[in-house]
Structure 1
Amino acid sequence: MENYDVLIIGGGLAAYYSALSCRKRGLKVALIEKALLGGTGIRTGALPVKKLLDSFKGREKDRESIKLDLIKNWNKDIKSLENKIENDLLTSGVDLYFGDGEFLDEHRYSVGDNILYGKYIIIATGTEPSSIGEIEIDNEKIITHKEAIDLDNIPDKIIILGGNVEGIEFASVYANLGVEVIVVEKEKFVLMGNDEDLVKPIEDKLVENKVKIIKGIGAKEAYTDGESVKVVLEDGQVFEGDKVLVTLNRKPNFPKGIERLNILKDKTKIIVDENLRTNIEHIYAIGDINGILGMAHVAIQQGIAVSDHISKNKPVYKHYSSLPRAVYTFPEMAGAGYQEEDLIREGIDYIKGYSYFSNTWRGWAKDIEEGFVKILFHRNGKLLGIWMVGENVSEYIGPLGVLLEKNITVDDIKHNLIIHPTLWESVLDAILNAER
């Protein structure tokens, strides 16, 4: 039996950052992955989708040549990611074990011929797509993001079930790959939870790229019919495509043997306290498996925070209300804090202001034609939210969460220098343009 300070179960972003952070604090660490390193975020979800979309930015006229180049090099590119992750972990001194292991008890985990003992254990096994209702995933015709990112099997026509972030990002990817795309969203709006003025430019661009968007009607059934697959909507309409991408539901990847531990959980998650510990004091659950927020940057933050809690007994600090987030489409949408519909629902009195990138000095210099900043603040001046739509706006929002957490006011922004000429001046312009 090999003894470790920390056993980490899972090989995604939460596990990766937790393992590296624990090693930097001098802890002996083992990471166990049942299949391939990288998890959803790096191998089959967020990062690959962003790479595909980035390939087309500013080069839409070369769409076919970009597509051929991506197909030719895609598997090699994904393999290079796996190699980087493995090299980073091994170089830092993390011991890697591959195989579908299981808990033996509260401290021991079996994988292959190895029995590993951990003083602390971190569960970072994530979630995976699941079938819903009469729509059963077969991973061939009715697929998940794992198959959707396989560029060796690009369909001519795809039906995407779900106008959520995943569905709309894949719609953008496939439209730029020249695929005929239909999006089916049972709600009245796509990208629910976001203000209409932020979503409209994204939806307009999809329609411009010939994506058909059906809203307010859910999918009742999907089934294969020969070489094609058919989707039946709740109103009886039937659509036919080469593949159906399901983005509607996910289920937790509970590690084998967890029932031996009597860890508190429900059907969707492992239950944790404010320090991401389970009811067993030395066992933690981080990332999607704890059900707090299914976002990669949340998983990263939790992985680092737990290593600090184990090594330094530092409380896990989390402030998710000001969490920056982004939708990687054409154009992108990104920001942090409240949106208008949140403020209206909570009855918070607010003021809003807009500034278009095309009206800024740097926007003129860069010939930017689209995109804007929307700022929301309380009548007392407290900053409530900053949101942007435009190309690459996800790159601008890193520090926004900190600004909101520190209760920055619009006067604080006005009284500090913003370098000229930059697109960040649009934040100041949006404040100046706001109606008081």
Structure 2
Amino acid sequence: MDYDVLILGGGPAGYYCALECAKGGLKTALVEKQELGGTGLRWGCLPVKRMLDALRERQKAEKILFSRSSADVQEIYKGFLEEMQGIEIQLAERLSARGVEIFFGEGSFLTPHTYLVGERCIEAAHIVIATGTSPKGFQQVEEDGEYVITHKDAVSLEQLPKTMTIIGANVEGCEFAALFAALGVDVFLLEKENQILKGMDRDLVQPLLDQFEMQGVKIKVDTAVEAVDKTGSRPIVLLSDGSMIEAEKVLVTMGRKPNFPLGLDQAGVFHESQRIPVDSCCRTSNSHIYAVGDINGIGGMAHMAIQQGILAADNILGKRRELSSGIAVPSAIFTIPEIAGLGCQEQELLASRQRYKVGKYPFSHTWRGFTKGIQSGFVKVLFDQKNKLLGLWMAGDDVSEYIGLLHSVFRKGISLKDLEDSLAIHPSLLEAVWEAARNLEEREGVQDETTSYIML
């Protein structure tokens, strides 16, 4: 065998898997058909969050919202693009420092142990598929990279548009709406459901809606896209209610499709239309071939992909590990303000008609919030009738930073007394969690107007 491990895909799952395998002493190779970093590190979540962080700090310093008349807004955007191009260099250097050999190009399985890249035939004892997903759009809208674009195009525009229509008010759509609105682009956000960020409690979404309103973001829900007319100088989105929206760019954020490597049948790997099924150790139907990250359809979040990549590496190294249950997976939406949390949403509890307790506390009421001049954001905690924590959610600046480490605590079945007895540093913003737990109110398990909303 040429290598102990061959990893297909240089996104977060493949990158961390390669590092862990090499760290364990395995001779490791990685194949990437485009750029290292994938959607997570190069073309999706990281660049959007990096730019939003920079814009937020600039706005705080200048106490203004950007507009297209800002003299240096275009230079800020170009500087961000140049900075993000350095990601691939950093990834390559870190992999090479660990002894990972990198191959670039389109490849295909020849046998269960061999993979052809260009003219190089690579043989490996173990193979890890980490090829991820790509935007799939939908039948009525065909992406062309010029007028109708995807997230990859959106973070590499040579010139900022004056107007943009975003199809899909999901997490990706809202994050890009926040980014381009902050850059002074006139944004129109479309959603076929009756609310943006469907599945998220109204009170958590409301601060984002307030920000969008202040920035002039136009939102239309409960309306489907029928087609995009590209016959004129600008694309026109045709809607199900008969209205039309014209903009310089149309960004589509409607779902993703799996990037199946070529030759899966030759590899003896069973796959379904949208994923490669795996067992609890991330093994495919062929026991020496693993599938990690978005390609296996579990989770669809970068932090889960990273953990799966490390888990696969550990199993290859003989340290048997299994996927943990999907309970209380932490999530975050990197808008301005951010939304983050884990566990149940209040609307789920209302819909299931169970009794529960809810406590909320604003960051502005904490003493640290007072010293920092924070005026918005809050914590919400949800407990069952036996005082077991069911959900913990936050809205506000940088709340994504607090959620990750709370995951392990949550999984241990933390109780109300545990939370009340915890010692949050004083003064700190995390005291809001403690305060929220001290301000619980009983709620009947009957669905009411807080569970859903329609924005007209």
TM exceeds 0.5? yes
Residues in 2 aligned to 1:410 and 1:198: alpha-carbon distance in whole angstroms: 22
Residues in 1 aligned to 2:351 and 2:333: alpha-carbon distance in whole angstroms: 23
Matched, 1:88 2:94: yes
Cα drift, residue 75 of structure 1:
3.4
Q: How does 1:401-416 map to 2 (within 5 A)?
A: 401-416=407-422
Of 148-157 and 362-371, more deviation after overlay is shown by: 148-157
User: Are the aligned partners of 1:71 and 1:151 in contact in 2 as well (CA < 8 Å)?
Assistant: no
Cα drift, residue 62 of structure 1:
6.8
Name the residue aligned to 2:236.
230
Match of 1:137 among 121, 139, 143: 143
Of 284-293 and 128-137, more deviation after overlay is shown by: 128-137
Q: 1:347–1:118: structure 2 CA closer, same or farther, 3 Å change rule?
A: farther
User: Are the aligned partners of 1:386 and 1:400 in contact in 2 as well (CA < 8 Å)?
Assistant: no
User: Are the aligned partners of 1:55 and 1:66 in contact in 2 as well (CA < 8 Å)?
Assistant: no
Q: What secondary structure sits across from 2:2 in the alignment? A: strand
User: Are the aligned partners of 2:140 and 2:225 in contact in 1 as well (CA < 8 Å)?
Assistant: no
Match of 2:215 among 209, 212, 219: 209
User: Are the aligned partners of 1:376 and 1:386 in contact in 2 as well (CA < 8 Å)?
Assistant: yes
Matched, 1:281 2:290: no
Matched, 1:19 2:18: yes
Q: 1:65–1:120: structure 2 CA closer, same or farther, 3 Å change rule?
A: farther
Q: 1:345–1:27: structure 2 CA closer, same or farther, 3 Å change rule?
A: farther
Residues in 1 aligned to 2:18 and 2:131: alpha-carbon distance in whole angstroms: 14
How many percent identity over aligned positions? 45
Residues in 2 aligned to 1:138 and 1:68: alpha-carbon distance in whole angstroms: 24
Gaps of 5+ in 1: none
Instruction: Look up the equivalent residue of 1:45 and give its one-letter code.
Output: G
Instruction: Look up the equivalent residue of 2:84 and give its one-letter code.
Output: I
Residues in 2 aligned to 1:117 and 1:227: alpha-carbon distance in whole angstroms: 51
Residues in 2 aligned to 1:42 and 1:83: alpha-carbon distance in whole angstroms: 12
Measured against aligned partners, the alpha-carbon deviations of 1:230-270 in whole angstroms (never above 9, x if no partner) come to 11111111111111111012111111111323421121111
Match of 2:154 among 148, 153, 156: 148
Matched, 1:379 2:379: no
Residues in 2 aligned to 1:414 and 1:179: alpha-carbon distance in whole angstroms: 45
Cα drift, residue 66 of structure 1:
5.8
Residues in 2 aligned to 1:226 and 1:333: alpha-carbon distance in whole angstroms: 39
User: Are the aligned partners of 1:56 and 1:66 in contact in 2 as well (CA < 8 Å)?
Assistant: no
Residues in 2 aligned to 1:263 and 1:317: alpha-carbon distance in whole angstroms: 20
Matched, 1:43 2:28: no
Instruction: Look up the equivalent residue of 1:77 and give its one-letter code.
Output: E
Residues in 1 aligned to 2:51 and 2:240: alpha-carbon distance in whole angstroms: 33
User: Are the aligned partners of 2:340 and 2:400 in contact in 1 as well (CA < 8 Å)?
Assistant: yes
Of 107-116 and 67-76, more deviation after overlay is shown by: 67-76
Residues in 1 aligned to 2:65 and 2:219: alpha-carbon distance in whole angstroms: 25
User: Are the aligned partners of 2:74 and 2:159 in contact in 1 as well (CA < 8 Å)?
Assistant: no
Measured against aligned partners, the alpha-carbon deviations of 1:339-358 in whole angstroms (never above 9, x if no partner) come to 11222334443100000011
User: Are the aligned partners of 1:13 and 1:299 in contact in 2 as well (CA < 8 Å)?
Assistant: yes
Ranges of 4+ aligned residues in structure 1 off by more than 6 Å: none
User: Are the aligned partners of 1:71 and 1:152 in contact in 2 as well (CA < 8 Å)?
Assistant: no
Residues in 1 aligned to 2:282 and 2:351: alpha-carbon distance in whole angstroms: 30
Q: How does 1:20-419 map to 2 (within 5 A)?
A: 20-60=19-59, 61=64, 63=66, 64=70, 67-419=73-425
Instruction: Look up the equivalent residue of 1:28 and give its one-letter code.
Output: K
User: Are the aligned partners of 1:172 and 1:329 in contact in 2 as well (CA < 8 Å)?
Assistant: yes
Cα drift, residue 315 of structure 1:
2.3
Q: What secondary structure sits across from 1:239 in the alignment? A: strand
Q: 1:344–1:414: structure 2 CA closer, same or farther, 3 Å change rule?
A: same
Measured against aligned partners, the alpha-carbon deviations of 1:105-160 in whole angstroms (never above 9, x if no partner) come to 10000112211111110000000011312111111111100111124232111110
Q: Matched residue pairs, number?
A: 435
Cα drift, residue 274 of structure 1:
1.6
User: Are the aligned partners of 1:337 and 1:401 in contact in 2 as well (CA < 8 Å)?
Assistant: no
Instruction: Look up the equivalent residue of 2:41 and give its one-letter code.
Output: I
Gaps of 5+ in 2: 443-456
Instruction: Look up the equivalent residue of 2:55 and give its one-letter code.
Output: F
Q: 1:417–1:249: structure 2 CA closer, same or farther, 3 Å change rule?
A: closer
Residues in 1 aligned to 2:326 and 2:149: alpha-carbon distance in whole angstroms: 31
Residues in 1 aligned to 2:85 and 2:188: alpha-carbon distance in whole angstroms: 31
Name the residue aligned to 1:7.
6
Instruction: Look up the equivalent residue of 1:97 and give its one-letter code.
Output: F
Residues in 2 aligned to 1:95 and 1:198: alpha-carbon distance in whole angstroms: 45
Cα drift, residue 400 of structure 1:
1.6
Measured against aligned partners, the alpha-carbon deviations of 1:50-91 in whole angstroms (never above 9, x if no partner) come to 011111214322733562342332332122111100000000
Residues in 2 aligned to 1:72 and 1:85: alpha-carbon distance in whole angstroms: 21
Of 57-66 and 313-322, more deviation after overlay is shown by: 57-66
Of 321-330 and 161-170, more deviation after overlay is shown by: 321-330
Task: Kindly report the root-mean-square deviation, in angstroms, between the aligned alpha carbons of the 2 structures.
Answer: 1.4
Name the residue aligned to 2:429.
423
Instruction: Look up the equivalent residue of 1:122 and give its one-letter code.
Output: V
Residues in 2 aligned to 1:169 and 1:66: alpha-carbon distance in whole angstroms: 22
Q: 1:347–1:274: structure 2 CA closer, same or farther, 3 Å change rule?
A: farther
Q: What secondary structure sits across from 2:340 in the alignment? A: strand
Instruction: Look up the equivalent residue of 1:332 and give its one-letter code.
Output: E
Residues in 1 aligned to 2:190 and 2:240: alpha-carbon distance in whole angstroms: 11
